[in-house]
Chain A
Amino acid sequence: MAQVKLNAVRKTYPNGFEAVKPASFDIADGEFVVLVGPSGCGKSTMLRMIAGLEDISAGELSIGDSVVNHVDPADRDIAMVFQNYALYPHMTVRKNIGYGLKNRKIPSAEIDAKVAEAANMLNLNDYLDRKASQLSGGQRQRVAMGRAIVRDPALFLFDEPLSNLDAKLRNQMRIEIKALQRRLGVTAVYVTHDQVEAMTMADRIIVMNGGVIEQIGTPSEVYHSPASTFVASFMGAPPMNLFDGHANGSEVHVGSTPLHRHAHQGKVTVGIRPEDIVPDVTGPLAIHVNIIEELGAHRLLHGHTAEQPVTIHVAKDYPAAIGPMTASIKPDAVSLFDTATGRRL
């Protein structure tokens, strides 16, 4: 078990591209941290620096109590699960899981016991003597997990481990991985570009964009109080509504509708989650609905207000109709961003 500390860690690739700008954060012992962001934002690079697969260009990384900038991946007491599983195709499942232990010169009786235990935990008993190349995607995923577990690492690293699975299996594995991590109490860093995975699995989420950390917070913080317009639009499906607004020092207007009280003055971006806009015949917000999206459990209404696009989340029994409607905003549901910087006010 270990905590992880990053102090101004950055990565510049040999071609001069700065994939991770100086990043500092701490991960507590036993915490499940999810790194999330769009493709190419530097998540994998960050994870691979923690793993030791990529040199750290500057800054300091410590795992447990020691700085590990120059420690070999094998000696960092980590285990990693890769997106394509990276199993050794010519080895049996048993050998795949035990290979790391064998290299550590652990007696074979002990390896057998550990492999058996991991196989039990992951329902792999029937496959132990199959070659890795003869397994389905989900089974490979489990073997990759097994390989990580038997090492008893201080830190689990996952790089989009579920993205090659179908949706159903993904949901199932998501829960399983989280439960396993809880049970073993091992610190985990999990990379994904799927914000649902991030929300459901994380103790804390780190949102990255363009090599920069946009926000670090619990899923609820990140969701309800996004630190920037980027986070607001990245997290949540559908994303937060963002309106161009104007603040006059006491009130914030979108179009001519006053929506919020704030002392800021100037151009602002007003963010409101779709579920925080509620149909209300006396509400201040005039909306014209263009499209009704039926999602079974609820409905999404897409339309315009003050000539800006808006999405509203309504209950499945709400009598939605194309055309004008009015709505109000739940109290404390407004996020305000400086339009110029994109940062939260």
Chain B
Amino acid sequence: MSVSTRRFRWSAVLDHSILIIGSLIMILPVVMLLQMASTTDVHTMKNGPGLGFGDQLPVNFDKAMFKADGFSGENTGLRMLYNSMILGFGFAIGKIVIGMMAAYAIVYFRLKFATLAFWVIFTTLLLPLEVRILPSYEIVQKLGMLNTYQGLIIPLIASATATFFFRQFFRSVPEELVEAARIDGAGPIKFFVDILVPLSRTMVAAMFIIMFVYGWNQYLWPTMITTDEGMYTLVRGIKQITQALEGTNLPEYGRSNLLALIAILPPVLIVIFFQSWFVKGLTESDK
């Protein structure tokens, strides 16, 4: 047994109280969701949110995952989760791949207008989706990509942010590494795949978190592009969830709240899973 020799300090108690209260405030809405998801709708209707957890979680989970609204019966929770996953991963991976390749071209090849090209890409930061939504919609429509995953993802994956970050990163890779690779007979593709990509892996992880969450939370674009219920994402499906709450029948509190929980869970998991890499990507370099 060891006796702690650290002195007891009131300031530490204060610090921790503040932190604990803060996290409670942050976590309370989530607990509320969980509580309402664990009781019957009738119970919630009568008592409102409270502290009494019920045993209805499996029942509500079943409803949330497999019950569908609307006409087609295709927008089950499971389907929406699947669509959200495709959007989140497609969006993040697409942005990283495109951003990396664009940055590679700009940094490593003697292109005549590389700097100009970079700044053109950079200025697209001034043109977010909301500004160009009509022309973007028209293009997607003319290409016949409404209600498709391509239509959902491709118009969004060009990324000035990712290009910018990868450009900064590549520029900090020592010149000699490129030269050593040239002498070692690594061509442009080999150098990219064997050396640059592995070197960037913490950067990729950081980008992946940011982009996945960003893509997962897209609302406006999926709302415009998908009218087919089988294509709804969770976040877009929130409308359906709230509609269920306003219905004339007994509102489906359990199901809706559980869906909301499911909608916030994957980004949280991604952040937890990648966070050590994320911190590394921002602080330490492997070069």
Interface of A toward B, CB cutoff 8 Å: 51, 53, 72-75, 78-80, 82-84, 86-91, 99-100, 103-104, 133, 147
Are A79 and B286 in contact, with the CB atoms below 8 A? no
Given A86-B174, A86-B177: A103 and B186 interface contact (C-beta under 8 Å): yes
Residues in chain A near residue B176, CB distance under 8 A: 82-84, 86
Q: Which of B173-214 contact A (CB under 8 A)?
A: 174, 176-177, 179-186, 190, 194-195, 198-199, 201
Q: List 26 A-B contacts (CB under 8 A).
A: A51-B183, A72-B182, A73-B183, A74-B183, A74-B185, A82-B180, A83-B176, A86-B176, A86-B177, A86-B179, A87-B180, A88-B177, A88-B180, A88-B194, A88-B195, A89-B199, A89-B287, A90-B195, A90-B198, A90-B199, A90-B286, A99-B186, A100-B185, A103-B186, A103-B190, A147-B180
Task: State the CA gap A255–B195 with chains docked (Å).
Answer: 65
Q: Which of B234-287 contact A (CB under 8 A)?
A: 286-287
- Min Cβ gap A47→B in Å is 11
Question: Lowest 4 CB-CB distances: which A-B pairs, in order?
Answer: A74-B185, A86-B176, A100-B184, A103-B185
Are B179 and A82 in contact, with the CB atoms below 8 A? yes
Are A53 and B286 in contact, with the CB atoms below 8 A? no
Are A73 and B182 in contact, with the CB atoms below 8 A? yes
Classify chain B: how many residues form its interface, as a range: 10 to 19
Residues in chain B near residue A87, CB distance under 8 A: 180
Q: Taking CB as reference atom, which chain B residue is nearest A78?
A: B183
- Min Cβ gap A111→B in Å is 13
Are B179 and A104 in contact, with the CB atoms below 8 A? no
Q: Taking CB as reference atom, which chain B residue is nearest A89?
A: B286
Are B183 and A79 in contact, with the CB atoms below 8 A? yes
Q: Which of B153-186 contact A (CB under 8 A)?
A: 174, 176-177, 179-186
Task: State the CA gap A100–B177 with chains docked (Å).
Answer: 13
Identify whether the interface residues of B are mostly helix, strand, loop, or mixed.
Answer: helix
Are A103 and B184 in contact, with the CB atoms below 8 A? yes
Interface of B toward A, CB cutoff 8 Å: 174, 176-177, 179-186, 190, 194-195, 198-199, 201, 286-287
- Min Cβ gap B169→A in Å is 14
Residue from A88, A89, A100 in contact with B183 in the complex, judged by beta carbons closer than 8 Å:
A100
| B183, B194, B198 interface centre (most CB from chain A within 10 Å) | B183
Task: State the CA gap A89–B199 with chains docked (Å).
Answer: 8
Q: Given A86-B177, A88-B181, A90-B198, 17 other A-B contacts at CB below 8 A?
A: A53-B179, A74-B182, A78-B183, A79-B183, A80-B179, A80-B180, A82-B176, A82-B179, A82-B180, A86-B180, A88-B177, A88-B180, A90-B199, A100-B184, A100-B185, A103-B185, A103-B190
- Min Cβ gap B280→A in Å is 13
Are B287 and A99 in contact, with the CB atoms below 8 A? no
| A51, A73, A78, A79 interface centre (most CB from chain B within 10 Å) | A73
Are A133 and B185 in contact, with the CB atoms below 8 A? no
Q: Taking CB as reference atom, which chain A residue is nearest B201?
A: A90
Are A133 and B174 in contact, with the CB atoms below 8 A? no
Task: State the CA gap A104–B186 with chains docked (Å).
Answer: 9
Q: Taking CB as reference atom, which chain B residue is nearest A85?
A: B176
Task: State the CA gap A83–B176 with chains docked (Å).
Answer: 9
Residues in chain A near residue B181, CB distance under 8 A: 88
Residues in chain A near residue B183, CB distance under 8 A: 51, 53, 73-74, 78-80, 100
Are B180 and A74 in contact, with the CB atoms below 8 A? no
Task: State the CA gap A74–B179 with chains docked (Å).
Answer: 10
Task: State the CA gap A133–B199 with chains docked (Å).
Answer: 11
- Min Cβ gap A84→B in Å is 6
Q: Taking CB as reference atom, which chain A residue is nearest B197?
A: A90
Q: Taking CB as reference atom, which chain B residue is nearest A105?
A: B185
Residue from B177, B184, B287 in contact with A74 in the complex, judged by beta carbons closer than 8 Å:
B184
Residues in chain B near residue A147, CB distance under 8 A: 180, 184
Residues in chain B near residue A79, CB distance under 8 A: 183
- Min Cβ gap A70→B in Å is 14
Residues in chain B near residue A103, CB distance under 8 A: 184-186, 190
Are B286 and A133 in contact, with the CB atoms below 8 A? yes
Task: State the CA gap A83–B184 with chains docked (Å).
Answer: 17
Task: State the CA gap A221–B179 with chains docked (Å).
Answer: 35
Are A99 and B184 in contact, with the CB atoms below 8 A? yes
Task: State the CA gap A72–B201 with chains docked (Å).
Answer: 29
Residues in chain B near residue A100, CB distance under 8 A: 183-185
Task: State the CA gap A83–B174 with chains docked (Å).
Answer: 12
Q: Taking CB as reference atom, which chain B residue is nearest A133?
A: B286
Residues in chain A near residue B198, CB distance under 8 A: 90-91
- Min Cβ gap A262→B in Å is 49
Residues in chain A near residue B180, CB distance under 8 A: 80, 82, 86-88, 147
Task: State the CA gap A91–B287 with chains docked (Å).
Answer: 11
Task: State the CA gap A103–B180 with chains docked (Å).
Answer: 13
- Min Cβ gap A51→B in Å is 7
| B179, B181, B201 interface centre (most CB from chain A within 10 Å) | B179
- Min Cβ gap B35→A in Å is 47
Residues in chain A near residue B199, CB distance under 8 A: 89-90
Q: Taking CB as reference atom, which chain A residue is nearest B200?
A: A90
Task: State the CA gap A181–B180 with chains docked (Å).
Answer: 20
Are B182 and A84 in contact, with the CB atoms below 8 A? no
- Min Cβ gap B190→A in Å is 7
Q: Taking CB as reference atom, which chain A residue is nearest B184?
A: A100
- Min Cβ gap B175→A in Å is 9
Task: State the CA gap A237–B49 with chains docked (Å).
Answer: 86
Given A89-B286, A90-B198: A104 and B177 interface contact (C-beta under 8 Å): no
Task: State the CA gap A51–B180 with chains docked (Å).
Answer: 10
